[in-house]
Amino acid sequence: MKSIMSLFSNGIFKSDLKRYWWISVLYTLLLFFTFPLRTFMLMDTIDQGYSKNNIIRLFDLTSHQSSIQMFLIFIVPVVVAILVFRYLHIKNAASVIHSLPLTRKQLFITHIVSGLLLLTVPILVNSLILVIFNLTTDLGLVFSFIDIFTWTGYSLMIILLIFSFATFVGMFTANTIAHLVFNYILHILPLGLFALLQVNLPRILHGYSSYNPLQNDPAFLEKLPFSLIGSSIELSELILIYPFFSLLFLFIAYYAYKLRHIEIAGDVISFKVITPVFKYGVSICSMLLGGAYFASISDDTPVMILIGYIIASLIGYFIAEMSIQKTYKVFSSFKGYLVYIIIILIVFTGIQADVIGYSSHIPDSDEIEYIYFSRGFSYLHDVEQGEMDPSEAEGFFTEKENIKNIKKLHEELIEQGSTNSGSQFFIIYRLENEEYVVRQYQIDEDKYNSKLKPIFESPEYKEGKFPILRKNSNQIENIDLKDERVLEDKKTFSDKESIEKIHSLLKTDIKNLSYENIFSRNRNYLVASVKSKDGSSNRYVIKKDYQLLNWLKENNYYKDFALTPEKINYITIEKTDSRIGREKDSKKAKITDNSLIQEVLTLSGYREDLTQAEHFSMEVYFKDTTPYFRDQLHLDKAKLENLSDDLQKIMQFD
C-alpha cells in the first residue's frame, strides 16, 4: 500500500478535483440530456418501430443518433487533459509545481488519475440512471443490462484513448492554444493527408487512380476515432487496439514529461528534436493543399499546380517558423526552405522518371485473368462478388486478341504521358493471383480511334454490353417499341414470328455497329424494350441506320408508335444563344406543313460536335394531346446548308 501511495499525491489529486469538478458535472448533465433523457422522452412511443430503433441506436456510438455523444467524447477529454497539465504552459506555475517535494512520476500519475476520474464519473452516473430506467419503466423492454454495460465500456474505452492522446500531444508543446490545435490536427491528419494524396497523386503519377472500387481505404483509417461516426466498423474490433494505444501514449507521454525542461513553458514545441518534423510536416501538408486548390481552379494545368505547390509550401514553412520562433522576423531562415525544395524536387524528379516502375508497369499476358476496360465501374463490383459472370458484363475482356489490343493501347498511353484532352478510362487487370493493377488515363478518342475500334467492335465487348446477343428468341416473352417523344403510343409484339424477326434484325444491327456508332453522342428516341421470360428486361435504342427500322416502316408498324407528321399539329422553332437552350430575343417560327415537319424531325437528336453549331429550341404540339414535346436542335454549317429552301427561309431569324 505504501509503495502505491508513493506514486500518488493526495494533495495534488484533491486540488485537481476542487478546481475542475465543474467539468465533470457539466459533462454529466450534457450526457444526461443527450442520452438517458432522450430515451425517457421516447418511452411513450416505444410500441412504434421507429422510436424503439432510435433508442437502440443511442447505445451504438457509431450511429448518427449518437453523434452528440461522440462530439462530447471528442471535446471533454481534451479539455480535461489541457487543464490538468496547463501548469506546464505557464512558467511561474511550472516552477512552483516542480519545486514541490514530489517526483515527476508522482505528478504525472496523479494528474492522469484525477483526469480519468473526472471523465469516468459522468459515464457511470448516466449508466446508473439507465439501469434505474430499465428496472422501473417500460424501457426495460427495449434495452437490457448488457446494452448498458456495453455502452459504458465502449464509452470509457474511447474516452481513455482521446484523453491519453491529448496528454501525449501536450508533452510535446508548452503552449495551451498549440496543445488544443495540435491535438485535433493530429487526429484528422491521417484522414486529411490520405485525402490530399489521393487528390495530388493522379496529377503527378501518370496512370494513378484515386477511384478504386476494388480496394478500400487503408484499414487503419476506419479505426481512427474521428472515423467512427457513421462507419460500419464493429467497436468490438477495437477492444484490444484502443487500450493498447492508450497505454502506449501514456507511456511515451510520461517519459517525455520526465525529459522536458521547465523553462520552455510558452513555446510551441517543447523538444528541439521534433522541430524539423513540425516545420516540414506543415510545409508538406500546405503544399498538397495548395496543389489541390490550384489544380481545381486551373483545369489541372501543370504549371499552375507547380506554382500552387511552391506558394503554399512557402507560406506553410514560414508560418511554422513564426510559430516556433514567436516572431515575424523569420525570413532569414530561408536556407531551411531551400533544403526542403531540393528534397521535394528530388522526390518529384524520381516520380516523373518512374524510378519505382509504377507508371510503366504492364502485367504479362500469362498473369492476366481478365482486363476491365471502360469509362466507369459498371458491374465491376457484381463480378468481383461472384454475382455476375465477366462474359455477361460490359467492359470485361478475357479473349487473347482483346487483351493484346488493350495492352498495346496501354503501352502507347504510357509513352504519351499525361494529357488533359479526352475522356477518362479505367484499365484494371485482374491477375491470376487475385491481385489487381488499376490505372486511369485520359484518352483522346479521336487520336486513338484505330486502337479503340477493334476493342469496342469485338464480339466479346458487344455481348457484354448488349444482352440480346446472348439470348435466343424463345427466351423472350415480348418486345415493346416506343418513341420517347410520344407518351401514349406503344407497339407490343408477343407472337413468336414477330419476336423471332425483330430479335434477328436487332442482333444483326448490333453486330454491325461501328465503334463510332456505339459511342455516338446523338440522341435516339426510338427504343425497343425486350422482356425475357425470366423477368429481366433490357432497353435498346433503334438507330436511324438499323435494318429493323426499315422493316418496321415496310410493314406499317412504325406509324403505330413513332412520332410522325400526322400526329403533330404544328412545330415552333426559336433560335437560342447556347446548347442549353437559353432563349435570345428572337421571334418564333411556326411550321404546319407535313413535309417540313418531317424534315425537322430528322434533324432532332444531333449531339455530336456542338462547338461550331447554331442552336435552336423546338416545341412539338400534338393534335390529340395537350402536352408538348420540347427538344434542342444543334445544326452545324453543313446541316444548315443542306436544309430545303423553304425550311432555310423559315429559320432565318437574324
Closest CA to 210 of 224, 200, 219: 200
Give the pLDDT mean for 328-345: 82
The residues near 254 (Cβ < 8 Å, ≥ 6 apart) are 105, 108
**CA distances (Å), origin 569, targets 525, 624, 631:** 20, 9, 16
Q: Is the pTM value of this prediction over 0.85?
A: no
**Residue 324 in contact with residue 278, Cβ under 8 Å?**
yes
What pLDDT shows up at residue 625?
65
- Which residue bears the cell 447554331? 614
Q: Residues 485-538: pLDDT tens digits?
A: 887 788 899 999 999 999 999 999 999 999 988 888 888 889 999 999 888 899
Query: How far apart, in whole angstroms, are the C-alpha atoms of residue 52 and residue 45?
Result: 8
Give the pLDDT mean for 105-109: 91
Query: How far apart, in whole angstroms, are the C-alpha atoms of residue 616 and residue 653?
Result: 10
Query: How far apart, in whole angstroms, are the C-alpha atoms of residue 430 and residue 443?
Result: 21
Phi then psi for residue 396, to 5 deg, are: -100, 130
601, three cell numbers: 424531325
Determine how many CB atoms are found less than 10 A away from the CB of residue 610. Answer: 16
Average pLDDT of the residues of the chain: 85
What pLDDT shows up at residue 116?
95
Residue 400 has pLDDT above 80, yes or no: yes
pLDDT band at 586 (very low <50, low <70, confident <90, very high): low
Burial of 416 from C-beta contacts in 10 A (0-12 / 13-18 / 19+): middle
Of 337 and 638, the one with more pLDDT: 337
Give the pLDDT mean for 77-97: 89
Q: Residues 642-653: pLDDT tens digits?
A: 888 888 887 776
Of 354 and 158, the one with more pLDDT: 158
**Residue 449 in contact with residue 515, Cβ under 8 Å?**
yes
**Residue 396 in contact with residue 372, Cβ under 8 Å?**
yes
Q: What is the 3-state secondary structure (H, E, C) of 295-352?
A: HHHCCCCHHHHHHHHHHHHHHHHHHHHHHHHCCCCCHHHHHHHHHHHHHHHHHHHHHH
Indicate the SS3 state at residue 211: coil
Give the pLDDT mean for 140-163: 90
Task: Give DSSP secondary structure letters for 358-379.
Answer: STT----GGGEEEEEEESS-TT
**Residue 390 in contact with residue 398, Cβ under 8 Å?**
yes
Query: How far apart, in whole angstroms, are the C-alpha atoms of residue 46 and residue 549?
Result: 61
Give the pLDDT mean for 387-412: 89
Query: How far apart, in whole angstroms, are the C-alpha atoms of residue 82 and residue 176?
Result: 7
- Which residue bears the cell 462507419? 231
Residue 6 has pLDDT above 70, yes or no: no
What pLDDT shows up at residue 41?
83
What pLDDT shows up at residue 30?
94
**CA distances (Å), origin 103, targets 11, 97, 116, 181:** 13, 10, 20, 29
Indicate the SS3 state at residue 577: coil
What pLDDT shows up at residue 1?
46
Residue 583 has pLDDT above 60, yes or no: no
Phi then psi for residue 461, to 5 deg, are: -65, -45
Indicate the SS3 state at residue 508: helix
245, three cell numbers: 494505444
Closest CA to 530 of 521, 541, 519: 541
Give the pLDDT mean for 59-87: 89
**Residue 552 in contact with residue 544, Cβ under 8 Å?**
no
Closest CA to 575 of 485, 635, 644: 635
- Look at the alpha carbons of 164, 168, 174, 175 in this order and tell me if their dihedral is positive or negative: negative
Give the pLDDT mean for 222-249: 81
H or E element at residue 206: none
Determine how many CB atoms are found less than 10 A away from the CB of residue 583. Answer: 12
Residue 579 has pLDDT above 70, yes or no: no
The percent of residues in the chain predicted with pLDDT above 70, rounded, is 93
Least confident range of 102-116, 192-206, 207-221, 363-377: 207-221
Give the pLDDT mean for 143-163: 91
- Strand ranges for 411-469 from DSSP E: 423-431, 436-443
What pLDDT shows up at residue 489?
83
Query: How far apart, in whole angstroms, are the C-alpha atoms of residue 531 and residue 479?
Result: 6
Give the pLDDT mean for 53-69: 83
- Look at the alpha carbons of 263, 265, 267, 268 in this order and tell me if their dihedral is positive or negative: positive
Least confident range of 229-233, 311-315, 528-532: 229-233
**Residue 546 in contact with residue 505, Cβ under 8 Å?**
yes
Query: How far apart, in whole angstroms, are the C-alpha atoms of residue 620 and residue 611?
Result: 25
Closest CA to 207 of 1, 365, 15, 419: 419
Q: Using CA atoms in the order 636, 642, 646, 650, what is the torsion angle rounded to 10 degrees?
A: 0
pLDDT band at 239 (very low <50, low <70, confident <90, very high): confident
The residues near 374 (Cβ < 8 Å, ≥ 6 apart) are 394, 395, 425, 426
Determine how many CB atoms are found less than 10 A away from the CB of residue 299. Answer: 8
Closest CA to 630 of 580, 578, 566, 586: 580
**Residue 261 in contact with residue 104, Cβ under 8 Å?**
no
Q: Residues 253-288: pLDDT tens digits?
A: 999 999 888 887 878 888 888 888 888 888 888 888
pLDDT band at 213 (very low <50, low <70, confident <90, very high): low
Residue 62 has pLDDT above 60, yes or no: yes
What pLDDT shows up at residue 216?
59
Q: Residues 423-474: pLDDT tens digits?
A: 889 999 989 998 889 999 999 888 999 999 999 999 999 998 999 999 898 9
